Every structure is written in C-alpha cells, then in structure tokens.
Amino acid sequence: MITGLDHVAIAVKNLEETVRLYETVLGLKAERIEPFPPQKVKVAIFRLGETKIELISPMSPESTVARFLEKRGEGLHHIAIQVDNLEETLEILKAKGVKLVDEKPRLGVEGVKVAFIHPKSMSGVLVELCQKH
C-alpha cells in the first residue's frame, strides 16, 4: 500500500519571494516552477533525494489554496504519501470509513494520479495519496 513520502506542500502568498528565500537560506534550487491550472495554483518544486518540497501559491482568489491562505495563513498545506495502487488504497480506506475528498483518482502535478484524504480523518492534516506512473 504505502511506498514512501512523496512531498510536503507549503502554501505561500508570494511564490517568487519564497523561492528566493528557500534558495538563499537553505541553499536549495527550484527544480521547476510552473502553473497548474486545474487547481488554479503555481507550484515550485525542490527535490531532496527521493522526497520533494512543493511551494504552492494561488493564481486566482477562487482557488482552494487562496481560501486556505485566507483562513489559516502561510504554512503546511498537505503531505503526500506514495502508494503502489491508488484505486485499491481508496477502496480500502472507504471500507474503513475514512472520509475522502476524492473517491476516484485525478491528475495531479507532474502528471501523477492523486486523491486526497479529508483532514477530519487525519487529525486535521490534509493527506494526498499519489501513484507514480
């Protein structure tokens, strides 16, 4: 089922400023910075071995990330866990009564299949499940 930690996503108001901060203070280099129109966000990805840090910033006030920032401010948005079979994992979680944001996989950043577990089922943390190609 679970094969590893894929990434930690941090919601930020100003992506360019925060990218400079991560590059200057931590010495990291953004692997890529790109818009992700389906979620109305722009994403910067920093690779740390097999794991990544994703900075996400809203491109529109209607995006869920914009609402998140308005309500909670900048900070941890979600953690993403790799699974070997996303559809099977979702069925197992549904059978256990876990509240899901997505009952079916959808396309995420970098073209991977993703689905989210509702924070109410995970002690207040939004968890993304992802299956690589």
Global confidence as pTM: 0.93
Helix, strand, coil percentages for the chain (3-state, nearest 5): 30, 40, 30
The 10 Å CB-count burial string (b at 16+, else e) for 81-105 is bbbeebeebbeebeeeeeeeeeeeb
Q: What is the mean pLDDT of residues 8-12?
A: 98
- Cβ 128 vs Cβ 39: under 8 Å: no
In terms of CATH architecture, what is 2-131? Roll (3.10)
Instruction: Give residue 80's pLDDT.
Output: 97
Each residue of 77-125: pLDDT tens digit?
Answer: 999 999 999 999 999 999 999 999 999 999 998 889 999 999 999 999 9
Instruction: Give residue 40's pLDDT.
Output: 96
Pairwise CA distance, residues 88 & 97, whole Å = 15
Pairwise CA distance, residues 133 & 128, whole Å = 16
Residue 56 has pLDDT above 80, yes or no: yes
Q: Where are the domains of the chain?
A: 2-131
